[in-house]
Amino acid sequence: LRNGKVTPSVGFGLGTAWYKASGEKGNALQESLKAALECGYTHIDNAEMYQNESLVGPVLEEWLEAEEEDGETDRKSKEERKQKRRERLFIVSKVDNKSRDPTLLRTAFLTSLRELRLDYLDLYLIHSPFNLPDGVTLPMVWEEMEKLVDEGLVRSIGVSNFRICDLELILSSPNLRHAPVVNQCEVHAQLLDLDLLSYCQSKKILLTSYGGLGPLRSFSSNDAFLNVLSSIASKYNSDTGLILQSWLLHQGVGVITTSSKPSRMQQSLTAPSLSLSSSDLSLLTSAGRKRWLRKFWTDEMANYDKSYRSRYDLT
């Protein structure tokens, strides 16, 4: 990241599939997170909006307090071991839209921190730039985010679902002290905003994808894009989902994924080691550019998408 911190390129997300998890679904969330940690995930992505951080905290605490094979048992070694294990994790949360009021943000952050049972977060994001409270501007919200960094409560701060115009409001602030290091957005092979990607890269902001497997859930089996994707997957003796994730990483985009199946979790962790040829990358990119498909924040992004489609002649 631009501030020198390191984030794993593939993260495990606790969002859409686990939204408002409780009861059996809550138990499934906890078991899936345990499995993800056992598989080797260290980047865990959450948010106030998901309303499940109180379920995530006990799992993180259990993992942090697990004994290593060295068998050390005295209090000092336990604390040192916990601290060492904490350094291996990269925990992310996001401030909900309703908490972006400068008078509420700090309380919302501390609530997430308490529910996650942590002393600090590695990354804290503004979940969206849309529908700000009356009288509140993005620079005002960002100033409160910066204070959390100054206090050592979070190591890095960033944004989510931000367009270039939103990022510019923050980056142009005369009092900017900590620039955003991440912009987490819906990105996949049929929703690659080249303007946004180029802008983020020029500002040393890591564009990170959620919904990266969206194309697999959007089309029938005879869809032209899916046919191209399946052909490439066969060539590499690979899975179509893994090809999509590898494609994202080749664009310089981070990946947030999720699953309840350990086999799928392990598979996604191999995406960084799957090397696709430049010709196959271009083929997939070209096939993806023929349609523009968004699943999340569709109303808020409607005008932007209409303009983008028109500018690049997309359907």
* Segment 164-181, tens digit of pLDDT: 999 999 999 999 999 999
7-24 pLDDT, tens digit each: 999 999 999 888 888 899
Distance, in Å, from the CA atom of 210 to the CA atom of 192, rounded to the nearest integer, reads: 12
Mean per-residue pLDDT, 55-81: 80
Considering the candidates 50, 124, 199, 308, report the single residue annotated as catalytic: 50
Distance, in Å, from the CA atom of 77 to the CA atom of 225, rounded to the nearest integer, reads: 54
pLDDT at position 67: 72
Which of left, alpha, beta for 161 (phi over 0: left; psi -120 to 50: alpha)? left
278-289 pLDDT, tens digit each: 999 999 999 999
103-127 pLDDT, tens digit each: 999 999 999 999 999 999 999 999 9
Mean per-residue pLDDT, 92-100: 97
Whether the CB-CB separation of 144 and 124 falls below 8 Å is answered with no
DSSP E strand boundaries for 7-146: 10-13, 43-45, 90-95, 121-126
Residue 254, helix vs strand vs coil:
strand
- Measuring CA to CA, which residue among 301, 90, 85 is closest to residue 196? 301
DSSP string across 162-181: --HHHHHHHHT-TT--S---
Burial zone of 10 (CB within 10 Å; 0-12 exposed, 13-18 middle, 19+ buried): buried
pLDDT at position 220: 54
Whether the CB-CB separation of 242 and 268 falls below 8 Å is answered with yes
Count other Cβ atoms within 10 Å, centred on residue 113: 21
pLDDT at position 314: 86
How far, in whole angstroms, is CA 185 from its chain's centroid? 8
Count other Cβ atoms within 10 Å, centred on residue 75: 7
Does residue 19 carry a catalytic annotation? no
